Amino acid sequence: MRIHSCLLAAALVLCVQAALAQVTKPGAVSGPAPAARHALELAKNGHCREALPLLRRAVPQTPDRTLKRDAGLAGIRCAMTGNQFDAAQDFLRLLNREFPNDPEVLYVSVHTYSDLATRASQQLATSAPNSAQAHELNAEALEMQGKWDEAAREYDAIVQKEPRLPGIHFRIGRLLLSRPNPPADSAERARKEFQQELEIDPGNAGAEYVLGELSRQAQQWDEAARHFSRASQLDPGFGDAFLGLGATLISQRKFSEAVAPLEKAVKLEPQNPGAHYNLAMAYSRSGRKEAAEKEFAIHREMVQRNPGAAEQGAGPQQIPQ
């Protein structure tokens, strides 16, 4: 009898142990919130390999927003540690959608995307060091450092290899206009580069826009209007192209025609004081005094808030990328 009781007790203990083991298995955690908490603990304790698949399943379904945020951030760290970049980007998209203004999410996003860019550039340099793309990446880095001559040589190397590669002549033209104290013929040389870019890629709205700016600065109004109009057609969201077109039409004293593109510019770029100023001018010269006063008032308020804001003007402070 005593032996039988002992066997029953031992069996009971084994059953309890088996049940506890089953409960503590990661896959046995029921519900997205408990699963996310379990995976978060795994990640905090350095078990990223086990945590990552659990986090990918649980985080999107977790109703607890604090837990969702913390577990998502842990998922990014684990994914980057394990070189699982697709998973990292999935977490980033989720967190930026759910927590668009969260400082920690934004901070981690900056560093993660920077790390992803660095790793991709290293891979490019290793796998295809003599490719046009590798030269282009080097040129962009040199531009950012203000090493204009070195950047120009990189772009020249690309043209030698692939003279009809889309985007290269646009970048050369941009470089010619961006460098400090440019030679007197820089604008004309840049114009030729942008025209050549359009021969290769007729859909390059940026090239059309800059040609419009060069023509506007040279007071070649008809040509400027043509380029700005083309840029706005190629890219209906290009606010500066509509602004350039409207400002050019004002210069041609075509005030009524200027209203429509300038209204579009204000809609696309409501924080641009130049857009409001030019629209106010178009309204005023078209006899729409009440609408003009409203736009002038908006412009004055913007300039008072930011004294450095441009009083007027048709274009952005830099050439489009």
- The vertex-172 CA angle with 319 and 274, nearest 5°, equals 10
Which amino acid appears at position 144 of this protein?
A: M
What pLDDT is attached to residue 134? 87
DSSP-derived 3-state class of residue 100? coil
Measured CA to CA, the distance from residue 67 to residue 59 in angstroms comes to: 8
What pLDDT is attached to residue 100? 92
Task: Tally Cβ neighbours within 10 Å of residue 257.
Answer: 17
Give 3-state DSSP helix, strand, coil % of the chain, rounded to 5: 75, 0, 25
Per-residue pLDDT of the chain (321 residues; tens, 9 = 90+): 444 444 444 444 444 344 434 434 444 455 778 988 999 999 999 899 999 999 999 999 999 999 999 999 999 999 999 989 999 999 999 999 999 999 999 999 999 999 998 888 888 888 888 888 888 888 888 888 889 989 999 999 899 888 899 999 999 999 999 888 888 899 999 999 999 999 999 999 999 999 999 999 999 999 999 999 999 999 999 999 999 999 999 999 999 999 999 999 999 999 999 999 999 999 999 999 999 999 999 999 999 988 766 544 444 444 555
DSSP-derived 3-state class of residue 188? helix
What pLDDT is attached to residue 309? 62
CB 259 within 8 A of CB 286: yes
Measured CA to CA, the distance from residue 61 to residue 288 in angstroms comes to: 54
CB 77 within 8 A of CB 46: no
What pLDDT is attached to residue 125? 83
Measured CA to CA, the distance from residue 64 to residue 147 in angstroms comes to: 50
What pLDDT is attached to residue 135? 86
Domains of the chain: 14-125 (1.25.40), 132-202 (1.25.40.10), 215-316 (1.25.40.10)
What pLDDT is attached to residue 308? 66
